């Protein structure tokens, strides 16, 4: 997979995304149901993520996990465990959780999908305008559940699908900084907006 890795800046120690989410998206009219249609061009990582999330193409999981393992994971020092970013939409099977589990198998690390918990408020962040509004909406929405044996501290890698404003990741990292078993916090995403 061809990628264009970008460093992500925030309240974490180090972060990277594989590639841009969308290269271009041009309006081409409305379909027979009156919904707008677009001619969208995505890089390989963006297309794989689109197929996974919106076409339920679960064959994209090993492709994306392998790319994360080869392209971004080696940039982080002494990662001890992986944490998937909690989803903002309830689904029977969560793409980010499955992606994190696949990455964990490749790099030989345990995935803790029960440490970082997010309360659902029913509103999708993609529908909220700016970063400050998103942060206000997310305020106090993340809690930490003590799920790690031993005292640590460990360096953790949070895995997410899309980096937009960074509001979700920053709020999650703020909560994780209160957990004494966590040392450095790294983030990796498939795409950035």
pLDDT of 128 strictly over 90 = no
Looking at residue 151, its pLDDT comes to 84
Instruction: Return the domain boundaries, the chain.
Output: 6-192
Rounded to 10 deg, the angle between the 95-107 and 44-55 helix axes is: 130
- List, as one string, the DSSP characters of 28-62: EEE-TTS-EEEEEE--HHHHHHHHHHHH--TTHHH
**Encoding tokens for residue 140?**
């106090």
Which CATH fold topology does 6-192 show?
Rossmann fold (3.40.50)
Categorize the per-residue pLDDT at 185 as very low, low, confident or very high, splitting at 50, 70 and 90: very high
**Encoding tokens for residue 42?**
């995505």
Categorize the per-residue pLDDT at 124 as very low, low, confident or very high, splitting at 50, 70 and 90: low
Q: What pTM value is reported for the model?
A: 0.88
């Amino acid at each position: 997979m061809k990628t264009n890795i970008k460093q992500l800046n925030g309240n974490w120690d180090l972060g990277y995304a594989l590639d841009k989410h969308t290269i271009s998206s041009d309006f081409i009219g409305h379909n027979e149901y009156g919904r707008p249609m677009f001619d969208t061009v995505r890089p390989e990582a963006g297309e794989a993520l689109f197929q996974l999330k919106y076409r339920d193409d679960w064959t994209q999981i090993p492709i994306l996990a392998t790319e994360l393992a080869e392209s971004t994971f080696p940039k982080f020092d002494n990662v001890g465990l992986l944490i998937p970013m909690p989803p903002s939409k309830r689904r029977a099977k969560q793409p980010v959780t499955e992606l994190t589990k696949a990455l964990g198998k490749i790099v030989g690390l345990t995935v803790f999908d029960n440490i970082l918990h997010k309360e659902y408020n029913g509103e999708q962040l993609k529908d909220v305008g700016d970063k400050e509004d998103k942060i206000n909406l997310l305020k106090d929405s993340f809690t930490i559940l003590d799920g790690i044996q031993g005292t640590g501290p460990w360096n953790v890698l949070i895995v997410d699908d899309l980096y937009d404003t960074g509001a979700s990741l920053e709020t999650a990292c703020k909560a994780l900084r209160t957990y004494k078993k966590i040392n450095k916090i790294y983030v990796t995403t498939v795409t950035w907006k």
